[in-house]
């Protein structure tokens, strides 16, 4: 599936860069073009992969290239005011070659949080291709404002996209590692998952998949909107090292191949989801099994699909394989689309609502508190004028 990638705000740009890193390292081709959009000049300059002419600075007249801080209402305003520039950058993309748009942003900050739903709305208005969002939720230690921002942006973003893929930083923080330090590996993880999904159907040279996961399979899985979470797991193979004449290895036992696939799909589904969710609340699912052709089997993929049907309770489970001859792993990617039972979102909304109440209370008390501070109480001190 070919996408036009739009990274909005700092996290959006960095994740877009990581997706382009993945594409280069895996020698795949699924990003037709990429654009970065930000109100902070320094963040745009810090990008590595997105070409300079594809970086759009918005809100210059208002924030002078300094960003929106954590003010996502300002993020909305600068995107709306500079929508012509954003549209101009997208007009330069070869849109006729893309199957979908992907708008990526961290939802806890200012620019990405506010601007990404505005950009998604504009893309949907102008183009017939589906517009997907990838929203990153803040860690719970980032504080109430970030959580409130994310809760507000989440609501708006879901409404403006054809499907919102969600990645929860909180669920991904490695124990003992600060979130900041872990961003690079988190971004790699996001890129790997999207990369496997989007490149699976773009194999142009042999060995071709037995059952291809093409763009329409992905679009159908994401149809119906809502929220999507993605699971991934891999299983290391005990293969002989690569030699001058390739690998000399025996054909693996078929039962082992099938069992390995089903076990990996189970781990992908029940283990590390990008957004922890009750899998029973899934509306549609898709599974992609990748690895060396000898370790892929139609029976394994079919068995996994049936298991996913039972586990999720949905009849709409698509599946396919993705041969990667040189790989030392069999891996499984599971897309759970339209999940509705997601405790983390409820928690985010609850903390967001509390923060909103606290902010309103403090704002109401402020004028009186300031008057008390400035007034000396007895009227002994005269102001100058
Ligand atoms: P913006 O530039 O105003 O859109 O704000 P940022 O993108 O800097 O931050 C928004 C949120 O994104 C933060 O609260 C973090 O949760 C998250 N974030 C920032 N940088 C990264 C990153 O590189 N990777 C990931 N996964 N999350 C990030």
From 8, 10, 76, 150, the mutation candidate for ligand 1 (largest count of ligand atoms within 8 A of CB) is 10
Q: What is the pTM of this model?
A: 0.95
What domains appear along the chain, each with residue ranges and CATH number?
3-202 (3.40.50.1440), 215-337 (3.30.1330.20)
Alpha-carbon gap, residue 8 to 83, rounded angstroms: 13
Residue (of 325, 337, 319, 316) closest to 262 by Cα position? 319
Residues in Cβ contact with 68 at an 8 Å cutoff, skipping those fewer than 6 apart: 39, 40, 59, 74, 75, 78, 109, 110, 111, 114
In terms of Cβ atoms closer than 10 Å to its own Cβ (0-12, 13-18, 19+), residue 22 is buried
Q: Give residue for tokens 């003992």.
A: 176
Radius of gyration of the chain (CA): 24
Phi, psi of 93 (to 5 degrees): -80, 150
For the chain, 385 residues long, the average pLDDT of each consecutive 10-residue run is 98 98 94 97 97 97 97 98 96 92 98 98 97 96 95 98 96 63 89 95 84 93 96 92 75 94 97 94 97 94 96 95 93 98 97 95 92 88 91
Tell me the CA–centroid distance for residue 109 and ligand 1, in Å. Answer: 6
Q: Order of strands across the sheet with 163-168?
A: 55-57, 31-38, 3-8, 100-106, 131-137, 163-168, 227-236, 329-337, 284-291, 317-323
C-beta 146 within 6 A of ligand 1: yes
Greatest alpha-carbon span in the chain: 96
Tell me the CA–centroid distance for residue 198 and ligand 1, in Å. Answer: 23
ipTM surpasses 0.90: yes
Q: What is the pLDDT of residue 181?
A: 63
Q: Which residue's alpha carbon is nearest to atom 5 within ligand 1?
A: 109
Q: What is the pLDDT of residue 206?
A: 83
Q: What is the pLDDT of residue 33?
A: 96
Q: What is the pLDDT of residue 175?
A: 47
- Check the annotation: does 169 bind a ligand: yes
C-beta 59 within 6 A of ligand 1: no
């Amino acid at each position: 599936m070919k996408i036009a990638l739009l990274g909005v705000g700092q996290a959006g740009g960095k994740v877009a860069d990581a997706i382009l890193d993945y594409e280069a390292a895996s020698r795949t081709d699924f990003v037709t073009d990429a654009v970065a959009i930000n109100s902070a000049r320094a963040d745009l300059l810090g990008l590595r992969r997105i070409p300079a002419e594809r970086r759009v600075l918005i809100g210059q007249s208002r924030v002078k290239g300094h960003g929106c801080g954590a003010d996502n209402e300002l993020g909305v305003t600068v995107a709306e005011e500079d929508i012509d520039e954003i549209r101009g950058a997208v007009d330069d993309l070869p849109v006729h070659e893309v199957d979908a748009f992907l708008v990526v942003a961290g939802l806890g900050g200012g620019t990405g949080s506010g601007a990404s739903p505005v950009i998604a709305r504009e893309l949907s208005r102008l183009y017939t291709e589906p517009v997907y969002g990838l929203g990153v939720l803040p860690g719970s230690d980032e504080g109430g404002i970030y959580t409130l921002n994310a809760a507000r942006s989440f609501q708006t973003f879901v409404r403006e996209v054809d499907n919102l893929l969600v990645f929860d930083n909180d669920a991904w923080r490695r124990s003992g590692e600060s979130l900041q330090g872990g961003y690079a590996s988190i971004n790699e993880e996001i890129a790997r998952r999207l990369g496997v999904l989007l490149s699976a159907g773009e194999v142009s040279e042999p060995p071709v998949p037995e059952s291809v996961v093409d763009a329409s399979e992905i679009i159908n899985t994401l149809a119906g909107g809502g929220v999507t979470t993605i699971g991934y797991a891999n299983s290391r193979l005990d293969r002989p090292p690569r030699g001058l004449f390739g690998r000399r290895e025996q054909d693996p036992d078929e039962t082992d191949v099938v069992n390995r696939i089903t076990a990996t799909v189970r781990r992908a589904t029940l283990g590390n989801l990008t957004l922890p969710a009750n899998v029973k609340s899934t509306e549609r699912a898709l599974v992609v099994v990748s690895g060396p052709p000898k370790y892929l089997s139609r029976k394994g993929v079919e068995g996994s699909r049936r298991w996913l049907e039972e586990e999720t309770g949905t009849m709409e489970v698509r599946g396919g394989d993705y041969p990667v001859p040189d790989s030392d792993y069999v891996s499984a990617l599971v897309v759970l689309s339209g999940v509705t039972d997601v405790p983390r979102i409820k928690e985010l909304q609850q903390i967001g609502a509390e923060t909103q109440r606290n902010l309103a209370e403090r704002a109401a008390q402020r004028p009186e508190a300031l008057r008390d501070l400035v007034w000396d109480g007895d009227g002994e001190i005269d102001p100058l004028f």
